Chains A and B, each alone.
Chain A
Amino acid sequence: MKISVIITLKKDVLDPQGKVIHQTLDGMGFNDVNEVRQGKYFEIDTKETDNDKAKAKVEEMCKKLLANLVIENYKIIDPK
């Protein structure tokens, strides 16, 4: 089963890369952008076949390694 995770920076954390991407988009003529925040995306292929169990395991992975909860939020996307 494949489970996806999106990690984003928390609201108050400075994202200089997102800022530069925003400026570049601006320079390219995409003038209606309010803000860009950069994040991370993971695809985890697990042997677990039970949906809930797999999600619980991935949540544990997020808390222990994939995200740093001081600065980041994680969102687990339901497997299809």
Chain B
Amino acid sequence: MKSSVITFPGSNCDRDMDVALKKFGFKNKMVWHADAELPKSDLVVLPGGFSYGDYLRCGSMASKSKIMQSVINFANSGGMVMGICNGFQILVESGLVPGVLLRNKYLEFICKNVFVKINDKQNKYFKNVNNEVLEFHIAHNEGNYFCTQDQLKEIEDNNQIAINYCDENGKIEDQFNPNGSIKNIAGIFNKEKNVLGMMPHPERMIDTSLSGEDGSLFFKNLINNLK
């Protein structure tokens, strides 16, 4: 399985993602934002970080970079594209997934472990994951998911919510919502579910001595689903 991680100026989780993908068997290539051509890939990842210093709106500049036209074409032809954190912000700004990510409700940069409940398993990202709840890490200032009421209805009708913030037992309540996101949304799909944007970082949970193992579950499962 071949993957590509796009590096934008200001990306800082690109190498972590490279390590994670390789650990679970992907042949990964790093791709520079100014390149026009995407290498042959089974998965494209937009990593976390602070592309273009979060100028204007997080992800807005990166969404207009040269490589993104190829990423958009790849996604529109059914290719798997995953955006993590700033990558999620780039996905919403490029229109690949609906909605926007606003400043966190309490204006704090949040850096902690959270639990997320998998809402939909009819997709290549979460199909066959045995757990209902995963522990991931979040680190963001603008993760407050927002969309219009019409968009929300469409997202819910199409079952596009991927994961919701919850407690360790999978209870989705306001008190477990770290940033004010509508419906505790932590990650969403496009309509076809080949594009996933999420704020949590699975690549930070691939080593028991450093953090936890739930990211390992995610990546092991992902590569098996792609085979």
Partner-B contacts on A (CB < 8 A): 13-14, 16-17, 20, 65-66, 68, 70-71
CA distance A71 to B57 in the complex (A): 11
Contact (Cβ within 8 A) B60 A71:
no
CA distance A20 to B103 in the complex (A): 13
Given A16-B107, A70-B148, the answer on whether A65 and B64 have CB atoms closer than 8 Å is yes
Give B62-115 interface residues, CB cut-off 8 Å to A: 64, 93, 99-100, 102-107
**A-contact 0/1 string along B157-186, CB 8 Å cutoff:** 000000000000000000000001000000
CA distance A71 to B58 in the complex (A): 14
CA distance A7 to B60 in the complex (A): 15
6 residue pairs, one from A and one from B, having the closest CB atoms: A70-B100, A16-B107, A71-B100, A68-B100, A68-B57, A16-B103
What is the number of contacts between chain A and chain B, taking CB atoms within 8 Å?
32
CA distance A71 to B144 in the complex (A): 13
A-B contacts, 15 listed (Cβ < 8 Å): A13-B102, A14-B180, A16-B104, A16-B105, A16-B106, A17-B103, A17-B107, A65-B56, A68-B57, A68-B93, A68-B100, A70-B100, A70-B146, A70-B151, A71-B102
Partner-A contacts on B (CB < 8 A): 56-57, 60, 64, 93, 99-100, 102-107, 144, 146-148, 151, 180
Contact (Cβ within 8 A) A65 B146:
no
Contact (Cβ within 8 A) A20 B107:
yes
CA distance A65 to B60 in the complex (A): 7
Q: Closest A-chain residue to B98, C-beta based? A: A70
Could you say which residues of chain A place their CB within 8 Å of the CB of B57?
Answer: 68
CA distance A57 to B34 in the complex (A): 25
